[in-house]
Structure 1
């Protein structure tokens, strides 16, 4: 049995509360995340050509996308791309693959790929379904790639657009879209939201929520410990998860059922947590 399994039994938990994998069932609905999912829902409901969600690394963007995917119904055909890269034509192949609409035995030049994609969109429209393309880590696309994606929103039937885009990425995505050469894309962004890190109270509520969700009491971390975690993670959920996971491991090793400030400082002192935003010894 590994150490993590042992600390679960020690704290009487059903599963690790601070896993780094995106898990909608553990999502803490902070005011920021509630607004972000509302914007995503609004974008889909209003048939916005482009919806954009941005935030720092580890802010919970991908978990929000997973939560959104759980809500989509039969009237929507969703394609999800993560970390797409490549030049003209390659991106279109990524998109076709995301919708499981790529015929690998057919011709693969750009004109054939575009025709295949247009035929796919028309078939979905005829079946009463809307195509939604979600691009995670969209900041990795080049300006040319973003423009190619933007041009897909020009495909329409009568007055109806056949595809909606959801762009999800780090803060630089907003700067890319706001650049003068991206004006046509920016004008198509109907709904957008920027996720900011959790404040001190939010960190404490976040930790308590995740613990209660997996069977914990919710008050295993002292207020002083939560404050230190906020200081050293900047309120970024992924970093909070990393530090809390180590803290619970240390508490188990010390045969303690509560995580104190001393426990957090021990983790920081040993240098096992590489997300320390302060980068200095705890006082």
Structure 2
């Protein structure tokens, strides 16, 4: 009985050690475009200078989570990290999310004051032991004015001249619009580092595709040069969409027993409608 999976056959056919294009964030495949380098620099700058609040935004699939994972893998041992993904809820519930992310046990029935005191005690103890605490909120565009103000209040907890907790907010472009609203003037003033991660241009897409092919064990030339324009126009230069389209193009080439992906291959993927969520002239389809 043949136990070889279709993915194994796909990889063997092209000579890949692993799939070059997946939808799962993988720091090993991180492509350092100019925008990604600047975004990561701002993340590092925010952490190293103890900036109260750092904000990184970008479209869905722009590579924010991949950058975040890369940063987490390079954090020094003296940093305590709390990661909250898609936090929602009213006043007080956010404190529970924060305590849970930091591994602090708490009574769900405790009052807001008790929870705040418990967090403050944890931060003071961590500081006294030489640790820095970084709280990361992913998908922060889902927060509202009230919860963002609650987060800002956490940055008021300090010892001497040092912040006891630093905030990093990662989110979609709506997060920037929210922070720019008049109700959040005080919050905006606490943002010491920010960057918006823009999509790649056409040349960036070509380099990105070749980079991922090489990291996966290929030559980087499995896609012909004339595919770049088609891929860019269909994806808008958004990495996750590029991954999806390129993966499907490799499947099509494999099915046709073709060792390279041509413009005709990419056109067939687009024509057959198997690539969904792409970019139209008016935006995301």
Report the TM-score range of the alignment, normalised by the length of the smaller protein: over 0.9
Partner of 1:56: 59
Q: How many residues in Structure 1 have an aligned counterpart in Structure 2?
A: 279
RMSD, matched Cα: 1.3
Partner of 1:98: 101
Partner of 1:234: 236
Give structure 2 stretches of 5+ with no counterpart. none
Supply the distance in 2 between the matched residues of 1:108 and 1:62 (Cα, whole angstroms): 33
**SS of residue paired to 2:280:** coil
1:168-218 Cα shifts (integer Å, max 9, x gaps):
100111110010100000000001000100000000000000010010000
Supply the distance in 1 between the matched residues of 2:129 and 2:252 (Cα, whole angstroms): 55
Partner of 2:209: 207
**SS of residue paired to 1:145:** helix
CA gap 1:279/1:183 in 2 versus in 1, 3 angstroms: closer
In the alignment, is residue 8 of structure 1 matched against residue 8 of structure 2? Answer: no
Deviation of 1:89 (Å) = 1.0
Check whether the contact 1:177–1:185 (CA below 8 A) recurs between aligned residues. Answer: yes
Supply the distance in 2 between the matched residues of 1:102 and 1:35 (Cα, whole angstroms): 37
Partner of 1:71: 74
Check whether the contact 1:93–1:102 (CA below 8 A) recurs between aligned residues. Answer: no
Supply the distance in 2 between the matched residues of 1:267 and 1:102 (Cα, whole angstroms): 51
Deviation of 1:75 (Å) = 1.4
Partner of 1:224: 226
In the alignment, is residue 271 of structure 1 matched against residue 273 of structure 2? Answer: yes
Deviation of 1:279 (Å) = 7.5
Partner of 1:29: 32
What pairs up with 1:107-118 in 2 under 5 angstroms?
107-118=109-120
Q: Which moved more, 1:1-10 or 1:255-264?
A: 1-10
Supply the distance in 1 between the matched residues of 2:260 and 2:280 (Cα, whole angstroms): 24
Check whether the contact 1:203–1:230 (CA below 8 A) recurs between aligned residues. Answer: yes
Give 4+ residue runs of structure 1 displaced > 4 Å after superposition: none
Structure 1-normalised TM-score?
0.96
Partner of 1:40: 43
Supply the distance in 1 between the matched residues of 2:10 and 2:268 (Cα, whole angstroms): 17
Supply the distance in 2 between the matched residues of 1:98 and 1:4 (Cα, whole angstroms): 36
1:208-235 Cα shifts (integer Å, max 9, x gaps):
0001001000011111112100010000
Deviation of 1:3 (Å) = 2.6
Give structure 1 stretches of 5+ with no counterpart. none
Check whether the contact 1:4–1:249 (CA below 8 A) recurs between aligned residues. Answer: no
Structure 2-normalised TM-score?
0.95
